[in-house]
Structure 1
Amino acid sequence: MSIKAYRTLQQVEVIVGYKTYIDLVAELVKGKEVISSGMMKEVDRCQKAIEIALQKRSVAVISSGDPGIYGMAGVVLELALKMGVQEAIDIEIIPGITSANAAAASLGAPLMHDFAVISLSDLLTPWETIVQRLEYAAQGDFVTVLYNPVSKKRTEQIKEAQRIFLKYKPGNTPVGIVRNAKRGNEEVTVSTLAEFLKHPIDMFTVVLIGNNRTFSSAELMITPRGYSL
C-alpha cells in the first residue's frame, strides 16, 4: 500500500471492506470499528460507508491493490451521486499499488512499453466483450496483464485467452505468473504462452503476457523500451 493509505488507515475511525482484505491489514486496524462482509456485498459496504460519513465520522473503504483500478472508488462515487450527497461529504481517493505494477516489479521490467489490463471475470462484464478486448490487445501487440484469470467456477476463460493470443503471437512469447504479488508469500514463475497453463493459476494470480519484443532471462521478463544500448 502507499504511505498515504497506511497513514489514513491509522487515522480514520471506521474501516469498511471485504473480509479477506480486512484480514490483510488486521494488525493496522486493531481497536478500530471494522465493518466487513463477503463477496457480492460491495454496494452494501459502500453505502454503509457513505452513511457513516454523513454522520461526520471518518471512514475508509479499502480495496485490494488500487481502489481506482477494479476497486471500490467508482462504486462510492456513483452511489454518492445517486444518493445526492456528493457535496455533503468529502471523498478522497487514495491510490495504492495495483497488482499489475506489483507483479511486474517481481518479474523484472515487462511493462516498459504500452500495455493493457483485462479482467477475465465475466461477473459484471459480458464474456463476449472480454473476448473482443482480448482480440484487440493481442492484435495490437500490447503487453497484456490478466486479472482474475481463474476461479473455482470459471476455468475455461484462461484457456480461451491463451487460444486468442496464440493466433497472433508465437508460443515462446514470455508469460509471467505471479501469485500474491508483494503480500509476503509471493510465488513468481516465468513460462511461455504455449506452456503457462501447466502452472497453478487462481484468483490471487496475475498473468502477464509479453509483446513481440519481450524476452526472458534468469527468471526475469524484460520488454525493451527502444533505447540504444
Structure 2
Amino acid sequence: MPTRTDGPGEVSFRILDRTGEPVTDYTEEQTKLLHLYVVRDDLAVFRHLHPVQDAEGTWRVRADLGSPGDYRVLAEFVPTEAGRPVALGADATVPGRPRTFPADDGEPGTGDDGVVRATVEGSAEVGDDGRLRILISDLSGAPLQLGSYLGTSAHLTGFPLEGTVTGGTGTGGTGEGGFVHVHPYGEPETVEDGTRLTFHTTFSAPGAYRFFVQTRVEGFLHTVPVVVEVGGTA
C-alpha cells in the first residue's frame, strides 16, 4: 500500500492457490483480468483499480488515496480453473491522521459529484431476485447519454454502512460482509427525470449501504456516492 498521501504509491500483492503457488491463469471479466477495490473503513475513500500481473505472479498498480487511514483491499477475479468469480480481501493501513469528510448532503438516496447526479428510484429489498433502479442525470434532472465503461454502461459497487468491510464471495450480489458489485440489467432507459439503470441484486441482509455509481459521460468517468436503504428481513 502507499505509505504517503501526497501523491500516488504502489499497491502490490499476490494471489496464492492452496499449495502456496501464485495463481497466474485468469478469465477476463468486464474487460479485465482482475478488479481491485481500495476502500477506507469509513467508506469516505473509494478506488476501483486494474492491476497488471508480472511474470512472477505479483499484481501491481499505482493508487492515489489522498488520505491516511485503515483500508480494506478487495480483489475480484475469475480463476480459469475455478470458472466462477471470487473476491478476496486484506486489511492495510496508510500511516497518518485520517482526514475526515463531511456527511452526505442532499436528500436520502441521492448524490452527485458536481456534474452527474445519481438518484435511487423506488426501494431495494432483501431477496435473491431483486431490482435496484437508479436515475442518472445532470444537476438539473435532465437525462444523460452514457458511454461505455469496462464493457457496460455503469458499475455499482457498495458496502454496508454498519460493520466491517470484508471480502465477498462473488460478483452480482452480496457476499460475506455485504460487498456488492453489480452491472446494469439490460440497456439504459431514457425517462423524463433521467437515464434509468436497472440492477439485479441479491441482498442477504437489510440496512443502509453506501454505493459508488461509476459511469462515463462525454468521455469522463464519474464516481458518484449514494446511500441506499435495503428493506425486508434476512
TM category, shorter:
under 0.3
Please report the TM-score for the alignment, with normalisation by the length of structure 1. 0.25
From the two aligned structures, give the one with the greater strand fraction.
Answer: 2
From the two aligned structures, give the one with the greater helix fraction.
Answer: 1
Query: Which has more radius of gyration?
Result: 1
Please report the TM-score for the alignment, with normalisation by the length of structure 2. 0.25
